[in-house]
Amino acid sequence: MTKRFISQLFVQKTLVLALALLAVSGYAGAEQAANAPEPAPPQEVFPLPETLYDTQTFTGKVLRSGGRVDFVFGSDRPFAQCHASTIAQAPSGELLCAWFGGTEEKDPDVGIWYARFTNGAWAPPKRIAKVNETAHWNPVLFTDPEAGVFLFFKVGPEIPYWQTYWMKSADAGLTWTDPVELVPGDNGGRGPVKNKPIILSDGAWLAPASTELGAWKPFCDRSEDDGRTWTRSADFAIDPVQVIGKGAIQPTFWESSPGNVHALLRTTAAKIGRADSTDGGRTWSPMRLTGMPNNNSGIDLEKLDDNRLLLLYNPIGKDWGPRTPLNLAVSSDNGETWQDLVSLETAEGEYSYPAIIRSGDGIVLCYTWRRERVRCWQIPAAAFE
């Protein structure tokens, strides 16, 4: 065998081996690529409004002014999840906070819970209402200085057919009447659906209401006898071309001058809606969209003594968008334009369904904190100076 033949044979074997190694390497690489985890989709970035204060600075102003930032209860709680908190101040000064709690929203063990803030601390939570073995929803606390504190809430396994119940306390939440239907025989939801009623200059109660049977339809319930009977307005007109999706729900009300009432609303159109009434809530203008973003989650508003408005909302302009951050904004022109004061929460998670009221020395607000707790801010008026 010649040296030349041996050299050719060696080269051929080397080439075969190299090709085999390349094939194995290519197969392994392809297998690794096939088994590699899918790359995470890029996170959607939302434009956020500038705020006057950062969270730390505003929190410091609140605390230095004598305010508080508390969880209403700790992690050792008698329910797995909680949501839709509401706040009220009794005529005697005590704060009351309520929410629904249970295994998970819509589960049959979900009931209405509450706690009282007295002597500088929140008392342990207690279950206050469980009408039957179906889900309970959206408690709303409301104070009439002459009549006491009222609690409204929804009952039923399905939102489109839920019923409204109410209770009353004349002793700052120590004892309550038995729950009864607000409008006997109603299915769909009369009375307040998420946000507190307001008392008009003529003494009438106006409850921000809505239904969710098919389309979402907001309306106003008016009572002239301290809640014993109610008169329902027509549904607010909504242009389906302007408002894509189901519509609007969960209004929040304020009265700018006698008989002139206004509503901001949660919508499916990525913006907060607005409607207005010139006759004490009996009739309403068609709803229009404002420039304020909305993530199809709840909002709430409170009018101050100097006619400024404070709004709590998630500044995310996307239907079913993230429920963070949670912002506090102020308006000095009856809700036409807004300045964001601060993001109360900025971390990942859910910070939603806020409630806000005036207190004896400022405002009090609360909201869902990751469906695990309820956070409450007591903010003296001095913090806004």
pLDDT at 20 over 50: no
Q: Dihedrals φ, ψ of 131, to 5°?
A: -70, -40
Domains and CATH numbers, the chain: 55-384 (2.120.10.10)
- Please report the pLDDT score of residue 40 as a whole number: 62
- What average pLDDT does this structure show over 188-217? 97
Q: Distance (Å, rounded) from C-alpha 343 to C-alpha 84? A: 19
pLDDT at 10 over 80: no
| CB-count burial class (<10 Å; 0-12, 13-18, 19+) for 169 | buried
CB 347 within 8 A of CB 339: no
Bridge partners (DSSP) listed for residue 137: 154
Other Cβ atoms within 10 Å of 72 Cβ, number: 26
- What average pLDDT does this structure show over 105-119? 97
Q: What is the pLDDT of residues 129-140, one digit of tens each?
A: 999 999 999 999
Average confidence score pLDDT of the chain? 92
- Please report the pLDDT score of residue 385 as a whole number: 84
Determine which of 35-44, 138-147, 174-183, 338-347 has the lowest per-residue pLDDT on average: 35-44
CB 163 within 8 A of CB 180: no
- What average pLDDT does this structure show over 33-41? 59
- What average pLDDT does this structure show over 20-34? 44
